[in-house]
């Protein structure tokens, strides 16, 4: 690299390096989608599945959470968007997960009719909604810059 940069060279360098770093920060949106859709699948299995499926879902979710912790820890770039959104999304996810747990423990009957099945599907979708929303917002910001 030369000791002196022209204005054009400097602007090109800013675009190139800034773009490269922004691309490396896109993992967060993909991970949020995986977390959200994983939560929907988990709650569907817990609320509507048999004992075996519930067991598989429980182990699968624990493995997913452990893998997520390693994955996030290994990341080397955190975008500005994920930095701002992480706490609102975490708080929302905690609330919807708590609501789904209460629904599963206190409300869901052992042999649900069609209305309870519909309510269980709704509960599962709501439980995964905060990270799905976060993934969508992050993806949208990547596209619009």
Interface residue list for another protein (CB under 8 A) = 1-3, 5, 7-8, 10-11, 13-14, 16-22, 24-25, 73, 76-80, 82-83
Burial label, 50 (beta-carbon count in 10 A; 0-12, 13-18, 19+): exposed
60, two tokens? 């699968």
Nearer to another protein (CB atom), residue 74 or residue 105: 74
Choose among 88, 92, 97, 82: nearest CA to 32: 82
Nearer to another protein (CB atom), residue 24 or residue 99: 24
Nearer to another protein (CB atom), residue 114 or residue 145: 145
The Cα–Cα gap between 19 and 10 comes to: 14
CB 73, min distance to another protein, A:
8
CB 133, min distance to another protein, A:
20
Burial label, 49 (beta-carbon count in 10 A; 0-12, 13-18, 19+): middle
Nearer to another protein (CB atom), residue 19 or residue 58: 19
CB 78, min distance to another protein, A:
5
């Amino acid at each position: 690299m030369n000791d002196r940069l022209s204005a054009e060279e400097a602007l090109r360098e800013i675009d190139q390096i800034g773009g490269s770093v922004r691309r490396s920060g896109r993992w967060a949106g993909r991970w949020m989608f995986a977390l959200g859709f994983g939560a929907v699948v988990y709650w569907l299995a817990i609320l509507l599945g048999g004992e075996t499926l519930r067991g598989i879902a429980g182990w699968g979710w624990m493995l997913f959470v452990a893998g997520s912790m390693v994955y996030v820890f290994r990341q080397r770039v955190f975008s500005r968007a994920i930095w701002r959104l992480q706490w609102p999304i975490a708080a929302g996810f905690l609330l919807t997960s708590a609501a789904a747990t209460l629904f599963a423990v206190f409300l869901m009957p052992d042999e649900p009719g069609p209305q309870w099945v519909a309510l269980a599907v709704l509960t599962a979708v709501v439980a995964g909604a905060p990270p799905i929303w976060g993934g969508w917002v992050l993806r949208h910001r990547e596209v619009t810059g």
